[in-house]
Structure 1
């Protein structure tokens, strides 16, 4: 039985990546619903209990499920091993831009007003979010797409698209359509930047850590911002990531197609 299960997932097909993403999303949302009875007993979004109950616990459940899945198909070790596919030096731009704005946001948070418990809860939530969502999209999805024989263009785009899909579900939770559309736009290009981080560092640890520092910095700085030029500049981070992501996507498409053409030319000569 286990052999059949492993063989099924080892035979890469793009729709299996979709099934895995949708399945994870369903389980995560179910875990969130299990927390609903505790809502009356926790504070608002500015309380540590709110972050722990509605973010940390559900994402922890989702992460454990993904780890269990990876263990069942024997993917965990290879997922965290050094990647064989290299990336171009220009891909470091994605890492630098995301890291720069994360640092600026962390530097423009009113930690005294936020309180130690709330900050600690958000840092824990960020670590779990980064680990879980990157394990799924830059780990398992990338593996499935590569084993299907798809080009790296397809790998990168599908990885980013399924990452954006995870956040599209907010529309069904009452988030306005325009806000959801903007979130999908941002998460697609952020997800693409994380794929570039995976390529250029050749390890999934890099996108995990970048992602782990992104969500806490955005939400903490948005809730308890300091005033001043640095804070104002830091708040432009999402817009900059989208704009830089667009440019890097164009460069990515051009360089990957040129690389494929060179390989095809070399193969025909041989």
Structure 2
């Protein structure tokens, strides 16, 4: 079986590709014993920027155009307000790293999250989603989301807590599920990129000790994602299937 003719195998390889860049940057930070947050963010930014370039090169070499991968404009819709409000709720948890706030810190963090948002969305909602679409839209949505969640297992290699990593995997799956549904609905990858980068930026700015409030906000975010995933799934498949069934019955 040739790799290029196997969407599932290709998707697994693309997932491994997504893990290469943070592993390399993490190794550099560990070996050099770097403690400055701004420097850490810059190293990660450089690694993920390389990831973006490699991913764009793969896209250009593929049989698809950049538009096929979701490089299209999107129109503002009402459901976007729900996402914006849910993200802003995180600020109720307060700001973290207050003592280290500086223009340099915020700027380097911004560079880092933008690079992560672009790189991961191009791989998971771009490459993986497009190639899995050959197996059907439902498989593309669920498959890219599962791989996105599994990809966060790499956090264990950096010494992250097992329980927190499992929670991140669950959240990543739900987040990936909604993003994949948005790509299916809008035919554009732009909003997921913006949302991904914004979410990470807010998370870094507000992440602190796992207090009752912090856990409550986390649960609210998950509930919002579950609600959105059901909303989009019904709009994309259940309502369409019902319409097809109704049209078929009208001809009987």
TM-score, structure 2 normalization: 0.79
Query: How well do the aligned residues superpose, as a CA RMSD in angstroms?
Result: 3.4
For residue 77 of structure 1, give the secondary structure of its aligned residue in structure 2: coil
Query: Residues 76 and 241 from structure 1, CA distance in 2 versus in 1: closer, same or farther, beyond 3 angstroms?
Result: farther
| 2:187 match | 202
For residue 194 of structure 1, give the secondary structure of its aligned residue in structure 2: helix
Deviations 1:126-175 (A, max 9, x none): 110110111111111121122x141x322221121111122122123322
**Is residue 28 of structure 2 the alignment partner of residue 43 of structure 1?**
no
**Is residue 223 of structure 2 the alignment partner of residue 246 of structure 1?**
no
Query: Residues 27 and 59 from structure 1, CA distance in 2 versus in 1: closer, same or farther, beyond 3 angstroms?
Result: closer
The answer on whether the counterparts of 1:153 and 1:253 sit within 8 Å (CA) in structure 2 is: no
| 1:144 match | 131
How far, CA to CA, are the matches of 2:9 and 2:247 in structure 1? 32
- Unpaired segments ≥5 residues, structure 2: none
**Is residue 53 of structure 2 the alignment partner of residue 71 of structure 1?**
no
How far, CA to CA, are the matches of 2:153 and 2:55 in structure 1? 20
Deviations 1:100-133 (A, max 9, x none): 2434546954797411111111111111011011
Pairs aligned (count): 243
- Unpaired segments ≥5 residues, structure 1: 225-231
For residue 175 of structure 1, give the secondary structure of its aligned residue in structure 2: coil
The answer on whether the counterparts of 2:109 and 2:201 sit within 8 Å (CA) in structure 1 is: yes
Give the ranges of 4+ consecutive aligned residues of structure 1 lying more than 6 Å apart after TM superposition: 232-235
| 2:168 match | 183
The answer on whether the counterparts of 1:28 and 1:59 sit within 8 Å (CA) in structure 2 is: yes
How far, CA to CA, are the matches of 1:267 and 1:156 in structure 2? 27
| 2:142 match | 157
Query: Residues 34 and 72 from structure 1, CA distance in 2 versus in 1: closer, same or farther, beyond 3 angstroms?
Result: farther
Say which of 185, 209, 215 aligns to 2:200: 215
Q: Which deviates more, 58-67 or 244-253? A: 244-253
Note the C-alpha offset of 1:199: 3.6
For residue 203 of structure 1, give the secondary structure of its aligned residue in structure 2: coil
| 1:259 match | 240
Say which of 24, 29, 49 aligns to 2:23: 29
How far, CA to CA, are the matches of 1:266 and 1:149 in structure 2? 25
TM-score, structure 1 normalization: 0.75
How far, CA to CA, are the matches of 1:212 and 1:251 in structure 2? 23
Query: Residues 101 and 254 from structure 1, CA distance in 2 versus in 1: closer, same or farther, beyond 3 angstroms?
Result: closer
How far, CA to CA, are the matches of 1:12 and 1:76 in structure 2? 19
